Amino acid sequence: MGSLEYLKNVVTLELDEVKCIGCGMCIQVCPHAVLSMNGIGRVEIQNRDACMECGACSRNCPTEALTVESGVGCAAAVINTMLGRESTSCCCTIDPKQESKPEGKARCC
Amino acid sequence: MSLPSPDQPFVSGSVKTAVTYIPQISTSLKWRDHWGTIRARWGVGRMYYTVDPGLYALGNPDENSPVLASANYKMSFDRLRESLRDRDAWILVLDTKGINVWCAAGKGTFGTTELVERIINSGISQIVSHRNIILPQLAGPGVAAHLVRKYSGFKVSYGPVRAHDLPAYLDAGCRATPEMRIQTFTLMERTVLIPVELVEALKAAVFIIPIAFLLGGLGGPGGYWDNVLNYGASTTAAIMSAILAGTILTPILLPFLPGRAFAIKGLWLGLPTALILVLIRRSDMAIRPGQLESVAWFFLVTSITMYLAMNFTGASTYTSLSGVKKEMRWALPVEICAGIAGIVLWLGSRFAA
């Protein structure tokens, strides 16, 4: 049994090869080995369907060569968003009213 | 400069530095730490399971010791300190509002701004002679390494995904093997998530089950309370079975269930669960109420297991937001319709002649 993989052909990850300087930070931060270095010192997407759109690669790309519509792949969060609730992520809901206070309390469902 | 409180159970002393005394933390977990982990796994007090943000000394670190960052969720902090037994390091705890590293990074609380401010306010730059800080790899979604360097002077190195790989990572001169960089989802990693999933589902069941009981008494052949015990109790058992299948069997069997969408995986658990329930129930299939009840259970049980399995995408380590949205576009309407059909058929079975 190989590593678990979610739906095919849905991931929004994009790489602009021209902007890539081959620093390799994206390869370091990717938790699913989506990216690899090619023969000429540039990054390429080798396993697109394994991407979970966490956004670590694009966040750490100094030249904005990588873009992805990042978010948390969580059904409860999608439902919360549809219902217009504040939280955008299911495992970590931070109460916006309390966040501003110094003793700000966090909620985890 | 802000220091964390020394009045925390895991603080064992203090370490003198060029700047001030820094609280020293123990690397061996006590029974109360383990008990805290168990409680948090069951969702008890999980929102307030925190440590004071700020700089801590682990072992007897000096100006050359490595600096590692962590979240102020107590479980994250415990995993880090127990992995560094017999080591010397500086631990910089960020204020992530008590949320674990990965979730906090996703929300941006384990982020570039918080890290830079924490580096500056902790006085770490006067305590160590180097300018390197090691972050958990899963902080990546929130932290831009190149910006941290620009604003704080510290060079970010991403450590391994799992804290227990840290000794090997440090001994290799801050180099991670490819295995250390992969977020897995092993049987053990899935199993520890079961209690929280179960508790959350049961919180909803507490409202649904009394209604099923009371409605079970309506119609039917016998008196109201006889019906409650017969039809209400058996339907409650069906709902509970669906919850157990959706929150316990889904995590355990996840890689072996056919399909990529989690709702499909839930379907493969819901159908056999419903079949077993109907076989145990031995309704009189010759009469209309027995037929309706059996079909109703198929719809009810399957819709619940599909929903709960779909819900497990949030706990899984590999589902993308685009994928979850695509799955939900068909799965959520199917689950709602099947659930409604189940309720209507079941109510029908109570009044069918």
> Tens digits of per-residue pLDDT, B160-219?
999 999 999 999 999 999 999 999 999 999 999 999 999 999 999 999 998 888 888 887
Q: How many residue pairs from chains A and B have C-beta atoms closer than 8 A? A: 173
Residue A104 has pLDDT above 60, yes or no: no
Is the residue at B5 inside a domain?
no
CA dist B96 and B50 (Å) reads 9
Helix (H, G, I), strand (E, B) or coil at B91: strand
- Which CATH number do you get for residue B101? 3.40.50.11600
> What average pLDDT does this structure show over B113-140?
96
Residues B76-92 pLDDT 10s: 999 999 999 999 999 99
Contact flag A56-B141 (C-beta cutoff 8 Å) = yes
CA geometry: angle B165, B168, B172, nearest 5 deg: 135
Q: How far apart are CA B8 and CA B30, in angstroms?
A: 13
Would residue B21 count as lying in a domain?
yes
B135 and B256 housed in the same domain: no
Q: Is residue B4 part of a domain?
A: no
The percentage of residues in chain B with a pLDDT greater than 70, rounded to a whole number, is 99
CA distances from A37 to A22, A107, B139, B257 (A): 8, 40, 22, 34
**Statement to judge: residues B338 and B298 lie in one domain:** yes
Is the domain of B121 the same as that of B202? no
Q: Give the pLDDT score at B98.
A: 94
Name the residue of chain B whose CA is nearest to A78's CA.
Answer: B325
Residues contacting A107, CB < 8 A, separation 6+:
A93, A94, A95, B47
pLDDT of residue B249: 97
CA distance A5 to chain B (A): 7
Alpha-carbon gap, residue B1 to A90, rounded angstroms: 34
Q: Is the model's pLDDT at A8 over the cut of 90?
A: yes
Domain-embedded: residue B108:
yes
Q: What is the mean pLDDT of chain B?
A: 93
Cβ-based contacts of B311 with chain A (< 8 Å): 75-76
The mean pLDDT value for B15-35 works out to 91
Q: What is the spatial distance between Cα B76 and Cα B37, in angstroms, rounded to a whole number? A: 10
Same domain, B59 and B151: yes
B204 and B343, same domain (yes or no): yes
Mean pLDDT of B316-329: 96
Chain B contacts of A78, Cβ < 8 Å?
321, 324-325, 328
Q: What percent of chain B has pLDDT over 90?
A: 82
* Residue A106: pLDDT over 50: no
Picking from B109, B144, B324, the nearest residue to A73 by CB comes out as B324
* CB-based contact A5 B47, cutoff 8 Å: no
Q: Which helix (H) or strand (E) holds B55?
A: strand B54-58
ipTM, two decimals, is 0.89
Same domain, residue pair B304 and B200: yes
Same domain flag for B209 and B150:
no
Residue A12 sits at the chain B interface (C-beta within 8 Å): yes
Domain boundary residue, one of B183, B201, B223: B183
Q: What is the pLDDT of residues A54-101, one digit of tens each?
A: 999 999 999 999 999 999 899 999 998 888 876 544 444 444 333 333
Q: Which of B121, B21, B105, B35 is nearest to B70 (CA)?
A: B105
How many Cβ atoms from other residues are within 10 Å of residue A80's Cβ?
18
pLDDT in tens, A21-59: 999 999 999 999 999 999 889 999 999 999 999 999 999
Domain count for chain B, please give it.
Answer: 2
Residues of A in contact with B254 (CB under 8 A): 4
pLDDT at A99: 39
- Give contacts of A29 with chain B, Cβ < 8 Å: 137, 140, 158
Mutation for testing the A interface, residue in B321, B326, B327, B330 having most A CBs under 10 Å: B321
Cα(A24)–Cα(A26) distance, integer angstroms: 5
Mean pLDDT of B241-248: 97
- pLDDT (0 to 100) of residue B220: 72
Architecture of domain A14-67: 2-Layer Sandwich (3.30)
Q: Is residue B6 part of a domain?
A: no
Nearest CA in chain A to B42: A109
pLDDT in the model for residue B353? 57
Is B151 found in the same domain as B43? yes
Q: Do A91 and B103 touch (CB under 8 A)?
A: yes
Domain holding B127, by residue range, is 11-183
Instruction: Looking at the structure, tell me whether residues B64 and B195 fall in a common domain.
Output: no
Q: Mean of the pLDDT values across residues B2-30?
A: 90
* Residues B164 and B203 placed together within one structural domain of the fold: no
Q: Considering only residues B227 and B142, tell me which one the structure prediction assigns the higher pLDDT.
A: B142
Residue B1 lies in a domain: no
User: Which residue, B157, B183, B209, sits at the end of a domain?
Assistant: B183
Determine the average pLDDT of the residues in B317-345.
Answer: 96
The answer to whether A45 faces chain B, any CB pair under 8 Å, is: no
Map out the domains of chain A as residue ranges. Answer: 14-67, 75-107
pLDDT at B46: 84
B136 shares a domain with B27? yes
pLDDT band at B37 (very low <50, low <70, confident <90, very high): very high
Q: Which of B182, B322, B325 to mutate to test the interface with A (most CBs of A within 10 A)?
A: B322
C-alpha angle A56-B321-A85 in degrees, rounded to nearest 5? 110
Q: Does A37 touch chain B (CB under 8 A)?
A: no
Residues 6 or more apart whose CB falls under 8 angstroms from that of B245 comprise B269, B270, B273, B301, B305, B308
Confidence (pLDDT) at B174? 95
Point out the domain boundary residue: B131, B158, B183.
B183
Q: What is the pLDDT of residue B321?
A: 95
